[in-house]
Structure 1
Amino acid sequence: MSLELLPQYIEKVDELLAADLPVNELISEIEHNLLPEHMAILLEAFPLKSRLIIWQQLSSEYQQNIFLEMKNESRQMLLDSMDDDSCLPLFDKLDANSLLELTEHLSDRFIEYAISQMTVKQRSHFKKAQDYSESEAGHWQSFDENKIPEKLKVSAAKKICAKNRAPLSEVIYIIDTESKLLGEIAINRLLTLNDETLLTDVIYQEVQYLEATKDIEEAADAVILSGKSALPIIDENGCLTGRLDLDSAYQYKEQLKDNQLFQSAGLSDEEDLFSSVWLSSKNRAIWLGINLLTAFLASWFIGLFEETLQQVVALAVLMPVVASMGGISGSQTLTLIIRGLALGQITDANRQAIVKKELKVGAINGILWATVIGIITFYWFANPLLSVTICIAILGNILIASLSGVWVPWLLNKFNIDPALSGAVILTTVTDIFGFIAFLGCGTLLLL
Structure 2
Amino acid sequence: MSLELLPTYIEKIEELLANDLQLNELAAEIEDTFMPEHVAILLEAFPIKPRLSLWALLSADYQQNIFLEMKNESRQMLLNAMDDDACLPLFDKLDANSLIELTEDLSDRFIEYAVTKMTAKQREYLKKAQDYSEDEVGRWQSFDEKRISQKLKVAAAKKVCAKNLLPLTEVIYVVDNNTQLLGEIPINKLLLLDGDTPLASVEYQDVQALEASKDIDESIDEVILSGKSALPIVDENGYLTGRLDLHSAYKYKDQQKDNQLMQSAGLSEEEDLFASVWLSSKNRAIWLGINLVTAFLASWFIGLFEATLQQVVALAVLMPVVASMGGISGSQTLTLIIRGLALGQISDANRQAIVKKELKVGAINGMLWATVIGIITFYWFENPMLSVTICIAILGNILVASLSGVWIPWILNKFNIDPALSGAVILTTVTDIFGFIAFLGCGTLLLL
Give the structure-2-normalised TM-score.
0.98
Amino acid at match of 1:393: A
Per the alignment, residue 316 of structure 1 pairs with: 316
* Greater Cα offset, 299-308 or 395-404: 299-308
Q: Secondary structure at the match of 1:311?
A: helix
- Cα deviations across residues 141-170 of structure 1 (Å, max 9, x unaligned)? 000111110111122212211224332122
Query: Is residue 2:43 matched to residue 1:43?
Result: yes
Deviation track 1:278-332 (CA, whole Å, cap 9, x = no partner) reads 0000000000001111111111111122222231011111111110100000000
Offset at 1:253? Answer: 1.2
Aligned to 1:145: 145
Summarize the alignment of residues 145-294 of structure 1 with structure 2, pairs less than 5 Å apart.
Answer: 145-204=145-204, 206-294=206-294
Report the equivalent of 1:336. 336
Contact 2:266 2:332 in 1 (8 A): yes
Cross-structure match for 2:433 = 433
Distance 1:205 1:238 in 2: 16
Query: What residue number does 2:364 align with?
Result: 364
Deviations 1:371-416 (A, max 9, x none): 1111111111111111111111101000000010000011111111
SS in 2 for 1:322: helix
SS where residue 101 of structure 1 aligns?
A: helix
On the 8 A contact 1:362/1:399 being kept in 2, the answer is: yes
Whole-angstrom distance in 2 between the partners of 1:49 and 1:165: 41
Residue pair 1:103, 1:111 contacting (<8 A) in 2 also: yes
**Are the equivalent residues in 1 in contact too, given 2:72–2:104 (CA < 8 A)?**
no
- Secondary structure of the structure 1 residue equivalent to 2:178: coil
- Deviation of 1:205 after TM superposition, in Å, equals 5.8
Q: Is the 8 A contact 1:182 1:205 kept in 2?
A: no
Q: Indicate the larger mover: 83-92 or 197-206.
A: 197-206
Give how far 1:206 is off.
Answer: 3.2
Secondary structure of the residue aligned to 2:121 is helix
1:117 alignment partner in structure 2: 117
Is the CA contact 1:153–1:195 (under 8 Å) kept in the aligned structure 2? yes
Q: Secondary structure at the match of 1:345?
A: coil
Partner of 1:106: 106
| Amino acid of the structure 2 residue aligned with 1:42 | L
Secondary structure of the structure 2 residue equivalent to 1:45: coil
Q: CA, structure 1 residues 90+174, in 2 after alignment: closer, same or farther (shift >3 Å)?
A: same
For residue 299 of structure 2, what is the aligned residue in structure 1? 299
Does the Cα contact within 8 Å between 1:146 and 1:164 map onto a contact in 2?
no
Secondary structure of 2:207's counterpart equals coil
TM-score for the superposition, normalised by structure 1: 0.98
1:97 Cα deviation (Å)?
0.9
For the residues of structure 2 that align with 1:424 and 1:189, how far apart are their CA atoms? 55
C-alpha distance in structure 1 between counterparts of 2:132 and 2:48, whole Å: 36
2:22 maps to 1:22 = yes
Paired with 2:280 and 2:166, the residues of 1 have a C-alpha distance of: 41
Q: Provide the rounded CA distance (Å) in 1 between the counterparts of 2:24 and 2:194.
A: 57
Match of 1:64 in 2: 64
**RMSD value over aligned CA atoms?**
1.2
2:433 partner amino acid: I
Distance 1:445 1:11 in 2: 47
Shift of 1:200: 2.1
CA distance in 1, matches of 2:4, 2:346: 14
Deviation at 1:58, TM superposition (A): 1.1
Checking the alignment, whether the CA contact within 8 Å between 2:378 and 2:387 is kept in structure 1 is yes
CA contact (8 A) 2:37 2:66 kept: yes
Counterparts of 2:400 and 2:103 in 1: how far apart (Å)? 39
Counterpart position of 1:404: 404
Kindly provide the CA deviation profile for residues 247-277 of structure 1, in whole angstroms up to 9, marking residues without a partner as x: 1111111111111111010012211111100
Contact 1:88 1:113 (8 Å CA) reproduced: yes
Distance in 2 (CA, whole Å) between partners of 1:194 and 1:32 is 43
Matched AA of 1:66: I
Q: Distance in 2 between matches of 1:187 and 1:24?
A: 44
- The one-letter code matched in structure 2 to 1:423 is G
Whether 1:424 and 2:412 are equivalent positions in the alignment is no
- Other-structure match for 1:74: 74
Q: Which stretches in structure 1 are left out of the alignment for 5+ residues?
A: none
Task: For structure 2, list consecutive stretches of 5 or more residues without a partner in the other structure.
Answer: none
Distance 2:237 2:104 in 1: 28
Partner SS state of residue 184, structure 2: strand
Bigger drift between 182-191 and 47-56 goes to: 182-191
- Deviation sequence 1:53-98 (CA, Å, 0-9, x none): 1111111111111111111111111111111111111111111111
Q: Are the counterparts in 2 of residues 389 and 442 from structure 1 also a CA contact under 8 Å? A: yes
Quote the offset at 1:202 in angstroms: 2.3
Q: Is contact 2:23-2:54 (8 Å) kept?
A: yes
* Alpha-carbon offset, residue 443 of structure 1: 0.7
How far apart in 1 are the matches of 2:305 and 2:158? 81
Aligned residues: 448
State the secondary structure of the residue aligned to 2:85: helix
Kept in 1: contact 2:150–2:199 (CA 8 A): yes
Displaced runs of 4 or more, over 4 A: none
Matched, 1:131 2:137: no
- Any idea what the Cα deviations from partners look like across 1:155-194, whole Å, max 9, x if unmatched? 2212211224332122211111111111111222222223
Shift of 1:15: 0.6
State the Cα deviation string for residues 82-133 of structure 1 (Å, max 9, x = none). 1111111111111111111101121011011111111111111111111111
8 Å contact from structure 1 (residues 184, 203) kept in 2: no
| Structure 1 residue matching 2:104: 3-state secondary structure | helix
* Partner Cα distance (2:316, 2:350) in 1: 41
- Specify the code of the residue in structure 1 equivalent to 2:54: I
Aligned residue number for residue 94 of structure 1? 94
Q: Which moved more, 1:185-194 or 1:374-383?
A: 185-194
Q: What is the alpha-carbon distance in structure 1 between the residues aligned to residue 208 and residue 347 of structure 2? A: 48
Query: Is this contact kept in 2: 1:174–1:203, CA < 8 A?
Result: no
